[in-house]
Structure 1
Amino acid sequence: MTKRQVLEALSGLLLGMFVSILAGTVVSTSMPLIISDLQGNQSAYTWVITSTMLATTVSTPLWGKFADLFNRKLLIQLALVVFVLGSALAGFSQNTETLIGFRVLQGLGAGGLAALSQIIMADIISPRDRGKYAGLFGAVMALGTVGGPLLGGVVTDAFGWRWNFFIALPVAIAAIIMLQLTLHLPKHPKRAVRIDYLGAVLITAGVSLLLIWVSMGGSQFEWSSIESYFMIGGAVLLLIAAVIVEFKVPEPIIPLTMFKNRTFTLSVIASIAVGVSMFGTAVFLSQYMQLARGATPTQSGLLTIPMMGGLLIASTFFGNLISRRGTWKSIMVVGSALIVAGSALLGTLNATTSLVLVGVYMAILGAGVGMIMQNLVLVVQNSIEVKNLGVATSAVTFFRSLGGTIGVTVLGSMLGTFVAQHIKDGIPKLSPADQAAAVKALGSGNIPHVSQLPDVVRSLVEGAYGSGVGIVFLYSVPLAIVTLIAVIFMPNAPLGTKTAVQLKAAARSKTGAINTADVAAVRKREIEDMEDILIEVSAAAVALPPVGEAHPTGSIQAVTSSELEPSGLDSDLDSGLELELESKSESTPGSGR
């Protein structure tokens, strides 16, 4: 494909990805207001975020497996429809429970969009060239992540938060049409499809139970309780059963043999930690800006621009650099180090930290995420067998979402505990009148409208969230260090120059045709055998008596010229060759004749 053809094919893909990011980020700045209006608490706030991430996590490997079995173009259009439908329904929510339910539907579509966009890009772009086009994905991601909060803040301030869930609908319709017109992929060869339903159920149930335990522990029940032991034990048993099933079925959802590939295994480990930085930053920085610094939703979106600006610039610039050089490891090591540094710097936040410094810290973290996030998928696609391209790509996305979901849930629980304790310790230090006002405003445990609080109570809440968010980022530093170590030990393999479609065609050609060298060897051997037979027959003919005379043994033998015709020899030769080739074809599973 020419560069123009590639860009045309990617246009609908990029627009679909932009819709998914926009619909997810447009509500981020207004989420504190949404939860407050729906009378939710910190637990509800965390669940609204993690419900989408949970659905995205458990559905990603299923979408990836379907991509290896069915029409990828149809699948990504279906995922887009599911995503936008869930987003639109969320706009009609009347309480946090219905909002969480519709966000689950939104997450199911998001899982497909996250996995399929990367898989389809691998179909049409080689690993060597994928870096510069991955920069486009990074740019779209940054545009949606920056533009979403800004647009969401303006819409919330002007029309109300519910309209944030509807604005993606026209863009989604345009994306579906664009995909239909511009994306042209070769058809999958028809074959019997075997879907691992049991494995899908076990993986989904095990991961879901684990994430529900993480999100509810410490709030609905104690970490060390019967409920905790039941959930942990159930999750472990379900995941063990899933591993057993995945080893035995012919087409597993996640082929466990992929973990023999060191690049894949280390990328999975790194992705878990990157997920915490990627998702946690978006969630907790919005709370910091609005609940610790008193910003409006629009101001909150503006204040997070340095984070997305760092991601945009880094992903675009270093993506092109990787394509030019064909090497990636040094860039990813530096990116991992920047994630460690950015997380540590954000760990120093409090309610009085200079916003200029906050912007610098966010830019450092954003640059690190931009240098590593897309490239983790790239190096896996470069090293994995082409038949497992879909499941390998979705697996990296799956573990990134899993890490993000667990990280946001655990860190959100820590934040809620710290804020509650900080406020509890601070109320007795207030005057009796202020104590009464604080109990009235904060006694329900719901997230308050900070701008409507009395000044003294407002300062108490801002101090609690300011220090709490800093502690959350500090706790994420060890995971960032894990990412750095994993990237350091990855094999520094050069990037390939063939697309996934070309690799599949080469694989089919190799297994579906008989090697011409083998054919020549068989022909040569048969000709030599026939030459030996000719010599023996000629010698026997010389020794025979004239036709019609008695043979020494008393019988009459005659060798006619027709028995030595070349056509007869050719027939024997062709028959022998056909039998030889037939035996070779039968000995090679799946080969054609």
Structure 2
Amino acid sequence: MYSWSSWHTVVPLVVGAVGIVVFGFYEKHVAVEPIVRLSIFKTCTAIISYLGTILHGMILWCVLYYMPLYFEGVKGYTPILSGLSCLPMTFTVAPAAGVVGIIIAVTGRYRHTIWVGWTFSTLGLGLLYLLDVHTPIALWVCVMIVGGTGLGILFPSMAFAIQGSAVDADVAYAIGMFSFFRAFGQTVGVAVGGVIFQNRMRIELQKYPKFAPLAAGYVQDATALVEIIKSMSDSVEKSNLKQAYADGLKPVWATCCGLAGIGLVLSSWTKAYSLDRGLVTEQAFQHRKLRAGRSRHEIAQLA
């Protein structure tokens, strides 16, 4: 890992930023059939919803990546038991998304569900900070249910907001970008979580004289460190390493909570658009035209 002031870090960031600007200019002024229709970003609701989608992807995958490591490294669970322990969060996402999707389809309103989703997410992710070596099962189950419910509510809510803010001709493109930005957020979330964990874990390990010389090596791989903890016999050193691991994850949970809080604040500018309209797409129009042409050709052959 390189520092923020290193050219190894600065050059890719600058080149990437310039590349995005050049790509946007090309898509708007040069491309005949643009890959990305910039018209989908014309409304404040669309921009806020896309930013929220990125934040949602970052939070979801950061939590799903590091939560099993908490159960294995801190609680000492097996991989299978760690997966089962994540069910209070993962199992509530789909039902919450399904119920909210039905509610929005019936009522045509999505703003309130977005606000509720971000509120639950912020609360649940903030409570993850309480996770420690001796956290009782009942506590982490309840905390994960709250967070999973909030993240599940946001899945359909933001999709409907993006759909409603787009004009008929751009709906398909808008939904496509919705999936892209969520995937983008997922990749960024795991990377950002890794950097935060490494920096904090190094600080925590330096508190213990026995682990201070090994800190640089231990923080390079969170998964490998779990195996090191498991291979140790029960001792004070193992307890200290578990505590350091739990403390190293706390800033990760706090960051996710902060990102959810940003999403909650941004969502206050989301506007209500009507969802009660027909689906009008270029693809459907071309398909009907092609079928009509085939029918005339078949009639000519029969004559």
Which TM-score applies when normalising by structure 1? 0.44
One-letter code of the match for 2:149?
A: A
Q: SS of the residue aligned with 2:77?
A: coil
- Verify the 8 A CA contact 1:351 1:465 in the aligned structure 2: no
| Match 1:472 to one of 232, 248, 252 | 252
**Equivalent in the alignment of 2:73:** 291
Identify the residue that residue 490 of structure 1 maps to in structure 2.
270
Tell me if 1:241 matches 2:19.
no
Q: Which amino acid aligns with 2:234?
A: D
Work out which of the residue numbers 327, 346, 364 in structure 1 matches 2:109: 327
Give the residue type in structure 2 aligned to 1:270.
G
Shift of 1:458: 2.4
Tell me which stretches of 4 or more aligned residues in structure 1 moved more than 4 Å: 441-446, 500-506
Alignment of 1:28-427 (within 5 A): 219=1, 221-248=2-29, 249-427=31-209
Residues 179-236 of structure 1 show CA distances to partners (whole Å, capped at 9, x for unaligned) of xxxxxxxxxxxxxxxxxxxxxxxxxxxxxxxxxxxxxxxx2x2111122221122112
Cα offsets for 1:331-386 (capped at 9, x unmatched): 22111111111111112222222222111111111111111112211221233233
Structure 2 runs not aligned, ≥5 long: 290-303
Instruction: Report Cα offsets for 1:94-131 as digits up to 9, x if no partner.
Output: xxxxxxxxxxxxxxxxxxxxxxxxxxxxxxxxxxxxxx
> 1:452-463 alignment to 2 at 5 Å?
452-456=231-235, 457-463=237-243
Query: Structure 1 residues 444, 475: CA separation in 2 closer, same or farther (over 3 Å shift)?
Result: closer
Paired letter, 2:11: F
The Cα offsets for residues 218-276 of structure 1, whole Å up to 9 and x where unpaired, read as x2x21111222211221122111111111121211111222112321111111121112
SS in 1 for 2:207: helix
Separation in 1, partners of 2:150, 2:82:
22
Note the C-alpha offset of 1:326: 2.1
The superposition leaves residues 403-447 of structure 1 with CA deviations (integer Å, 9 ceiling, x where unpaired) of: 23222211211102222332232134x8xxxx99x89x9599743
Separation in 1, partners of 2:107, 2:143: 29
Match of 2:225 in 1: 447
**1:290–1:326 CA distance, 2 compared to 1 (3 A):** same
The letter for the 2-side match of 1:493 is Y
Question: Is the CA contact 1:291–1:461 (under 8 Å) kept in the aligned structure 2?
Answer: no
1:329 and 1:492 in contact (8 A); partners too? yes
Provide the rounded CA distance (Å) in 2 between the counterparts of 1:339 and 1:425: 32
Q: Give 1:503 shift.
A: 9.9
Separation in structure 1 between the aligned mates of residue 218 and residue 12 of structure 2, nearest angstrom? 32
Mapped partners of 2:255, 2:219: distance in 1: 28
Aligned sequence identity (%): 22
Specify the code of the residue in structure 1 equivalent to 2:278.
K
Partner Cα distance (2:177, 2:56) in 1: 14
Corresponding residue of 1:18: none
* 2:297 corresponds to: none
Greater C-alpha radius of gyration: 1
What CA distance in whole angstroms lies between the structure 2 residues aligned with 1:406 and 1:324?
Answer: 35
Maintained 8 Å contact 1:418/1:464: no
RMSD of equivalent CA atoms:
2.8
- Cα separation, 2, equivalents of 1:301 and 1:312: 16
Contact 1:343 1:474 in 2 (8 A): yes
Note the alpha carbon deviations across 1:514-559, whole angstroms, 9 max, x for none.
xxxxxxxxxxxxxxxxxxxxxxxxxxxxxxxxxxxxxxxxxxxxxx
Cα distance in 2 for residues equivalent to 1:443 and 1:310: 32
**Aligned residue pair count:** 282
